[in-house]
Chain A
């Protein structure tokens, strides 16, 4: 067999491969090029998120407002809703609850724009969280019902979040058994979805409910697990809550030294985060329970 005849199959294979590659390239769908105005809005949104990560909430608010204006200019409903929800979180961190509510109202009460149902669920959920923070249980229940109605599986990933909010409402209403059951259910869903921060929230809620149900050992186990998760996520606010709750559980078990230890640790965290209210409260606790 001559050399050229040996190479012939190789050439055919190479040409076939090249043809297949060309076919693949031609058949693949070309990406839609993002318009410059939209790119500007996305850039502003990302810059705001970076400022939020650095705890510059004032800067984040300004950037989100800029992103919002750009999204409004092109009437991109999804982008508008995302920026409004983010704006509500940044405003809440700044302590401006009225502005946070106003941002969400634009989504929940808009008569003209049609926002995606997923965003409506998220906005109603955020509204429930804000109302719950103000301990307005009735209004929070209403907002939660709207969020649940808009949270349609499989697109909605908020089921675990919503159960946690419901458990908080039960806890405030002193239905501790109901709160515990909902928190357990939320924990299962959040574990399944890999929502780590929400898992810690579920565990903390379970701990609080179990303490009220006089199941102190189980409460302590749940909150210790919650503390481990929050430390892993480096969430000072949540760590402070865990330590305070562990202090309460230890005090209920009459383990005075242990309770003092948790309160001292909580005090150190409160001082480090600049939380004057919690610092004063914990200083009083440490002083009064030597």
Chain B
């Protein structure tokens, strides 16, 4: 009996101690939960509005929604709406917009998917619409359009370049074909160019010989005939050499053109592959950066760090009583 009373007394004394230990932890947990809720902007009033699109490519949940370049909300949900009565299904994108910002979005506003720069993050930008229309209200729908992606631009470029590459290939094929007009012309031009210096030299020699041997016409005529024969032999040898070398050169040109075409094709395939992956990587990277920014921002605003971090402010350049327009200006004053 006495023992039971003692145990009951001990138990009743230990309750305040347990409370004293548990209370700070409980308060701490509640504070952390409150900070997280505030950071996640759970207390900010938001209004859902919708856009419909053919597909959700490039649209992800959490993607920022901007008006005038300022973030006013985010994509909260992307769902497929099944088609009915012969119409195709569509994608419904729910945008959670801060209620206080709705006044800047007119009923006739347009939403569009765009990338902030070539390698920037994707955002949904709302073009506010005319000043005459009333502001958009809860659950209303905006017209949606999407700007061209990097892949689409690459595809367009490919379509534009394809005919040019085909023409180059055709031209090379024509040069390659035996007996073709281009090959004949090339052979003739090469032969002519090879002969020109030799003919010139021979002509000068012939003229000087003719001048010296004007009185000995018979013997001079013989010399000229002999030299002309030599020239003809030279011409025949040169033509034979050019004919022998030309197919090799043409083959090399053809293989170089084929290599260039293959390289261009590889580059196109690589760029198409990269274009598909890069936006995903960038979106992930941007998301991580946003998270880190949020965490650092939250830490900077929490006690006691907030007392150690000075608030952001404009920077004033150093004022100088001897500021000058350009190097050396005003120097004579001193």
A129–B321 touching, CB < 8 Å: yes
Q: How far apart are B295's CB and chain A's nearest CB, in angstroms?
A: 16
Bound-complex Cα distance A134 to B220 (A): 91
| Known interface pairs A240-B327, A240-B328; A201-B314 also in contact (CB < 8 Å) | no
The closest CB in chain A to the CB of B329 belongs to A133
Chain A residues with Cβ below 8 Å from B328 are 237, 240-241, 270, 273, 275, 277-278
Question: In the assembled complex, how far is the CB of residue A57 from the closest CB belonging to chain B, in whole angstroms?
Answer: 10
Question: Which of A42-50, A103-111, A251-259 interfaces with chain B?
Answer: A42-50
Within 8 A of A (CB), among B285-310: 301, 303-304, 306-307
Which residues of A (180-217) have their CB < 8 Å from a CB of B? 197-198, 201, 204-205, 207-208
Q: Contact at A42–B319, with CB atoms within 8 Å?
A: no
A8 to chain B: closest CB distance in Å? 8
Q: Which of A76-99 contact B (CB under 8 A)?
A: 78-79, 82-83, 85-86, 89-90, 92-95, 97
For the complex, is A244 an interface residue (Cβ under 8 Å from B)? yes
0/1 string, A142-153, CB within 8 A of B gives 1? 000000000000
Please state if B315 and A18 are interface contacts (CB–CB under 8 Å): no
CA distance A49 to B328 in the complex (A): 23
The reply to whether the CB of B9 lies closer than 8 angstroms to some CB of chain A is no
Task: Indicate if the CB atoms of A168 and B333 lie closer than 8 Å.
Answer: yes
1/0 contact string of A259-287 vs chain B (CB within 8 Å)? 00000000000100111011000000000
Given contacts A28-B304, A89-B317, contact A34 B331 (CB under 8 A): no
Contact residues of A between 25 and 65, Cβ < 8 Å to B? 25, 28, 30-34, 36-37, 39-42, 45-46, 49, 52
Query: Are A205 and B70 within 8 A (Cβ)?
Result: no
Rounded to whole angstroms, the CA-CA distance of A122 and B319 in the bound complex is: 8
Q: How far is the CA of A158 from the CA of B331 in the complex (A)?
A: 23
The chain A residue with its CB closest to the CB of B325 is A95
- Please name the residue on chain A nearest to B300 by beta carbon: A31
Whether A158 lies near B314 (C-beta < 8 A) is no
Q: Is the CB of A11 within 8 A of B314?
A: no
Could you say which interface size class chain B belongs to? 35 or more
Is the CB of A126 closer than 8 A to any CB of chain B?
A: yes
| A171, CB-defined interface residue at 8 Å | yes
Interface SS of B by simple majority: loop
> Which one of B17-25, B106-114, B139-147 is at the interface?
B17-25
A24 at the interface (CB under 8 A from B): yes
- B326 adjacent to A49 (CB under 8 Å): no
Task: From the candidates B70, B307, B313, B327, name the one contacting A275 in the complex (CB within 8 A).
Answer: B327
Q: Which of A39, A82, A89, A240 contacts B323 (CB 8 A)?
A: A89
B320 at interface, CB cutoff 8 A: yes
**Complex Cα spacing A155 to B110, Å:** 50
A46-B315 Cα distance, complex, nearest whole Å: 6
Instruction: Judge whether B71 and A36 touch: CB under 8 Å.
Output: yes
Q: Contact between B20 and A11 (Cβ–Cβ < 8 Å)?
A: yes
Using Cβ atoms and an 8 Å threshold, which residues of chain A touch B318? Answer: 197
B10 to chain A, nearest CB (A): 10
Chain B residues with CB under 8 Å of A97's CB are 325
Closest 9 pairs between A and B when the two form their complex, measured CB to CB: A278-B328, A275-B327, A164-B321, A275-B328, A273-B327, A208-B334, A25-B303, A18-B24, A45-B314
Given contacts A24-B303, A162-B321, A241-B334, 17 further A-B contacts (CB under 8 A): A15-B20, A30-B306, A31-B306, A34-B312, A52-B317, A85-B319, A89-B317, A92-B325, A93-B326, A95-B325, A129-B322, A197-B320, A236-B327, A238-B322, A241-B328, A244-B331, A273-B327
A/B interface sample: 27 pairs, CB < 8 A = A11-B20, A11-B21, A15-B21, A15-B24, A24-B304, A28-B304, A36-B70, A37-B70, A41-B314, A42-B312, A45-B314, A78-B314, A83-B314, A92-B325, A93-B326, A129-B322, A133-B330, A162-B321, A201-B321, A208-B334, A238-B322, A240-B331, A241-B322, A241-B331, A245-B334, A274-B327, A278-B328
